[in-house]
Amino acid sequence: MRRRVGIVLLVIVVALAAFNYLRPIPAVAAMHLLHSTEVVPGTAPTMPWPSRGSAAVAVSGLGFVGTSGNEQAIPAASVTKVMTALVVLEDSKLKKGEDGPIITINDADVRSYESDLAEQQSVVKVQTGEQLTLFQVLEGMLIPSANNLAETVARWDAGSTDAFVVKMNKRAADLHLTHTKFADTSGASPASVSTPSDLTTLGMAAMQNEVFAQIVARGQVTLPVAGTVYNVNGLLGQGGIIGIKTGSGLNTGANFLFAANATIDGTTIVLYGCVMGQPTLQIAFATAQALLAVMTSALHVRRVIARNQSVANYTTPWGDQSDLVSAVDVDLAEWPGMIVRQHLDAKAIVVEHPIAPRTPEGTEHVVLGDYSLDVPLVTADQLYPPGRLWRLTRVSF
């Protein structure tokens, strides 16, 4: 009887051990090692906003870092041509190094020139039969700010200026320029209105186009009939200014949409901004320079996450462990007082087979301003599945 009981108990023990051994290996969750939020050190500077009009400034990648807070939609003047150029470049798919199709100046183009000239608008001389490449037309429109060529390129693109203006407003809506409305292609109409924030957003989008950036960085260009014409951006090449467009001549004052390269902690960063409603274009230039100087001194580039830095950790119930480390360096431009947010996105793993070092196992999502990055994470060490003894003797899991 006792022997039979012993056999039964042995069978039970063996069955439990077998059951224990064959139970699924538990999934192991990653433990986040970094803070979920971090305030960028320092105090945001007092910006030298203009006493008249309004302004906004932004940093490439980071986004807006300040506005004067009193923005109202006013005539954009010739800054309107930035949208005209962007729509044409996107429609034509003109690439850097290409001249594009030939545009032959016709009677309608000459009438536009003569009419605009009579109204003392900014123009570039053209004549019937003159042949310009698309690239040259855009140069004439953006560099000396020829209103007549804005009309010429709009008719070439859409068949009429009215049809082209519809495209301009559609693109503005796509860019969420909620305070912008275009009524013409050149900005001669006071009904083409915008704000510094909207125009800065437009400028950042336009400067991503290599052809646009190439044109607005040119100080002068020679055209077949007009000869040599000069950029109305008087700050071009000064203080890192690389573009993009002035707008003046209407009774609401002068506007300046600008982009500048700045060296921040050894890294070149593009700074953007727009001032509107200034008494003169020279005052608009001076205001832009003052804003850029303060931005340059306040910005820093910091390594938020370093390559091979531990971001999370896997620790198994059987005592094995490995950190999850960043596969790359993450350097971000920072503005004092902004908040860096981080979130771990790594699934729980089941270690049924050895997991080698440098195996991708998730990402660290980093957000700062407009930065939104998924930083790849890899295992630092080998992870091994549990041994037989642990699987036989585990109590829970």
Structural contact between residues 381 and 323, judged by C-beta atoms closer than 8 angstroms: yes
- Which pair of structure tokens corresponds to residue 48? 């030298």
Question: What are the extents of the domains in the chain?
Answer: 25-40+304-393, 54-278
**CATH for 54-278 (3.30.2130.10, 3.40.710.10, 3.40.228.10, 3.40.47.10):** 3.40.710.10
Closest to 265 in 3D by CA, of 234, 232, 238, 303: 303
Phi, psi at 364, each rounded to 5°: -110, 120
Query: Which bin fits 362, alpha (ψ -120 to 50), beta or left (φ > 0)?
Result: left
At residue 295, the pLDDT reads 98
Known catalytic residues are 78, 81, 145
| C-alpha atoms less than 13 angstroms from C-alpha of 50 in its C-beta half-sphere | 30
Give Cα separations from 296 to 37, 214, 260 (angstroms).
25, 24, 10
Would you write out the chain's pLDDT as a tens digit for each of its 397 residues?
666 766 756 666 565 666 667 788 899 999 999 999 999 999 999 999 999 999 999 999 999 999 999 999 999 999 999 999 999 999 999 999 999 999 999 999 999 999 999 999 999 999 999 999 999 999 999 999 999 999 999 999 999 999 999 999 999 999 999 999 999 999 999 999 999 999 999 999 999 999 999 999 999 999 999 999 999 999 999 999 999 999 998 888 999 999 999 999 999 999 999 999 999 999 999 999 999 999 999 999 999 999 999 999 999 999 999 999 999 999 999 999 999 999 999 999 999 999 999 999 999 999 999 999 999 999 999 999 998 888 888 876 5
Per-residue burial over 56-94, b if 16 or more Cβ lie within 10 Å, else e, is: bbbbbbbbbbbbbeebeebbbbbbbbbbbbbbbbeebeb
374, β-bridge pairs = 365
Strands 37-39 and 54-59: unpaired
Q: Where are the alpha helices (DSSP H) in the chain?
A: 2-22, 80-92, 107-118, 134-142, 147-158, 161-174, 196-206, 210-216, 281-298, 388-393
Gap between the Cα atoms of 199 and 259, Å rounded = 12
What's the CA gap between 270 and 95, in Å, rounded?
Answer: 22
Beta partners for 344? 364
